Structure 1
Amino acid sequence: MEKNKILLVDGMALLFRGFFATSFRGNFMLTKSGVPTNGIYQFMRYFLDAVDHFEPTHVICCWDMGSKTFRSDLYEGYKANRGEPPVELVPQFDLVKEVVQAFDMPNIGLKNYEADDCIGTLAKVYSMDHEVIILTGDQDILQLVDDGIHVAIMRKGLGNYEVFTQENFYEKKGIHPKQVIDVKGLMGDTADNYPGVKGIGEKTAVKLLQEYETIDGLLENMDKLPKGVQTKINNNLDMLHLSRTLAEIKCDVPVECSLEDALWDYKEEKILNKFDELEFTHFTKLIKTSV
């Protein structure tokens, strides 16, 4: 069976990155009717560059479906440090999905779960027979690196990717992909607003896991740990376990998408109509030259 190359796009990561990359200069790119489109415009620049770079046979875009998820039920503070999205970004959430649809590309999301969980679930299924590349700017997704699953982290500037694979991961990070979850359990995550073990940072967390492999291995060898570390862990044991649960991407959520629906094969006219509607003249030229 011929292997397909499936690109799973972290839609939220690209949209937010695109929005903030342009809006800090006050450039919201309004249409004649006053609708801001800067996030969508940059999203498309990132997305089309990635398709050009990785040449996938299939593409799927995954989204968060609101701020309340099973993680916020488990821990009230989860992502509670994030304010409301800027008013200029709000109308772009639905519009960007319409653009994705214009490419006949599936939009996948599930209430009560994050885009990461949808990505993880689909990646595990597809990687059994195909090659999967996950496009994101989010380091959390590195825990999904596996046989047949590569993660392309977007770096500064367009077209600049750091690709993590099963083969190069340890050399780059000093830990294995699965250990990313335990590192975050120990050090917490300021972006997602959960504390882990107070007083343990990334360096200590990585060092401990290089020696004891897992949080469970660590807890079984508590008497061998420095007294200071023992005290910190004992004082934050519940939060350690909770943080590890919050950090783990669920790879068994009820989403599916047939590869037939995800084939990268768009109708030029459909896209040009959408780009005209958003007044994206630059992309109109791009699409015309690429077909």
Structure 2
Amino acid sequence: MLLDTASLYFRAYFGVPESVKAPDGTPVNAVRGLLDFIARLVQDHRPDDLVACMDADWRPQWRVDLIPTYKAHRVAEEAPAGSTAPDAEEIPDTLSPQVPVIEEVLDALGIARVGVPEYEADDVIGTLTQRATGPVDIVTGDRDLFQLVDDGRGVRVLYPVKGVGTLQVTDETALREKYGVDGSGYADLALLRGDPSDGLPGVAGIGEKTAAKLLATYGDLAGILAAVDDPAAKLTPSQRKRLTEGRPYLAVAPKVVRVATDVPLPDFDPALPREAADPERLEALAHQWGLGGSLQRLLAALGQ
């Protein structure tokens, strides 16, 4: 089980009241919400391995170099105090202080936490999925990871609809029903239609339905571009014109949109922890931040 950790703690932050606070009055709603999410996931799915995948770089420069608008609207006008990063994501002030607490608690629990400089959590997830020898459940609220769905390898996305109590199981059947493509086709669909939430312009005039029809007819992006160069291909004049004008974007978009599957990962133990890595530290964190029942429920789910 691979967790898109930031996606989940964002959902926890907005799903758990900010009145949930530590003894000193600091909000810990994202911390406690995430612990409850993980407890529920472990309890319901009993994974052998569990990895909390992190955004070591949520907006890698190599992606920005290819498409300058990539996540540009999410960049804060000014970096948060103490930040040395040239870009800082606009996140609520009461959430950012909770992230180091989340990291410390996961480490003390012994839950593998993996982030790699210059890569997003999506890329870590893509690489671990590629390396996996058995079934993989990816837990994320980000549709970008639908591109990894692969029935043949047992790779599916568990997409939270409401908390993590209600998860939409996304396999290739679900993708074909909703989008008309399978997992491998989802990235091509996404880059053709664009994604305002990620600053991806897409091809002007090519929406989701048109993109799906083109992929159904020509197989993949390469097939569509070959059709543009083939006078006999049954593209409408408008489609041919728009795709021709979109060629500069289409030349670089695949590298930006497709998750990396060859990230150099550090050594780590993905096994579900049967005992805390640092019990004393965990107890101190529980006391300092008032983690209470949330931590107890996760420990119980882990069998600790």
Is TM (by shorter chain) over 0.5?
Answer: yes
Following TM superposition, by how much is the alpha carbon of 1:166 offset from its aligned partner in structure 2, in angstroms?
A: 4.7
Residue 159 (structure 1) aligned to one of 159, 165, 170: 165
2:214 aligned with 1:208: yes
Aligned-pair CA distance for 1:191? 0.9
Q: What is aligned with 1:286?
A: 297
> Deviations for 1:152-190, whole angstroms, at most 9, x for unmatched residues?
111124411112235654345421111111111211111
Show the 5 A alignment for 1:1-291: 7-22=1-16, 27=18, 29-69=20-60, 70-82=62-74, 83=76, 84-126=90-132, 128=133, 130-146=134-150, 147-166=153-172, 169-222=175-228, 223=231, 224-258=234-268, 260-267=269-276, 269=279, 271-287=282-298, 291=303
User: Gaps spanning 5+ residues in structure 1: where?
Assistant: 1-6
**Compared with structure 1, are the counterparts of its residues 157 and 64 closer, same or farther at alpha carbon in structure 2 (3 Å cutoff)?**
closer
- TM normalised by structure 2 equals 0.84
Q: 1:85 to 1:53 in 2, by over 3 A?
A: same
Higher RCO by CA contacts (8 Å cutoff, separation 6 or greater): 2
- Within 2, Cα distance between the matches of 1:287 and 1:184? 36
CA contact (8 A) 1:79 1:191 kept: yes
| Alignment CA distance shift 1:74-1:157 (3 Å) | same
Distance 2:299 2:68 in 1: 49
C-alpha contact (below 8 Å) 2:3/2:53 kept by paired residues: yes
Q: Check the 8 A contact 2:49/2:272 in 1, yes or no.
A: yes
Alpha-carbon deviation of 1:289?
5.5
Contact 2:148 2:184 (8 Å CA) reproduced? yes
| Contact 2:179–2:212 (8 Å) recurs in 1 | no
* Cα displacement (A) at 1:11: 0.5
Number of aligned residue pairs:
279
8 Å contact from structure 2 (residues 187, 258) kept in 1: yes
Paired residue secondary structure (1:178): helix
SS of aligned partner of 2:103: helix
* DSSP-derived class of the 1:116 partner: helix
- Superposed CA offset, 1:88-135 (max 9, x none): 111112111111112201110011110000111011112x2x221111
> C-alpha root-mean-square deviation of aligned residues, in Å?
2.2
The CA distance in 2 between the partners of 1:95 and 1:138, in whole Å, is 23
Shift of 1:28: 5.2
Q: Secondary structure at the match of 1:99?
A: helix
**Matching residue's letter, 1:13:** S
Q: Which amino acid aligns with 2:194?
A: G
Q: Is the 8 A contact 1:276 1:284 kept in 2?
A: no
TM-score, with structure 1 as normaliser:
0.88
In 1: Cα distance, 2:115 partner to 2:159 partner: 21
Contact 1:195–1:243, Cα closer than 8 Å, also in 2: no
Residue by residue over 1:56-98, the C-alpha shift from the partner in whole angstroms, topping out at 9 and shown as x without a partner, is: 1111111111344121232221101114211111111211111
- Sequence identity of aligned pairs in percent? 31
Deviates more, 1:268-277 or 1:12-21: 268-277
Residue type of the partner of 2:221? I
Greater mean alpha carbon deviation, residues 148-157 or residues 183-192: 148-157
Q: Aligned AA for 2:251?
A: H
User: Is residue 54–residue 121 contact of structure 2 (8 Å, CA) maintained in 1?
Assistant: yes
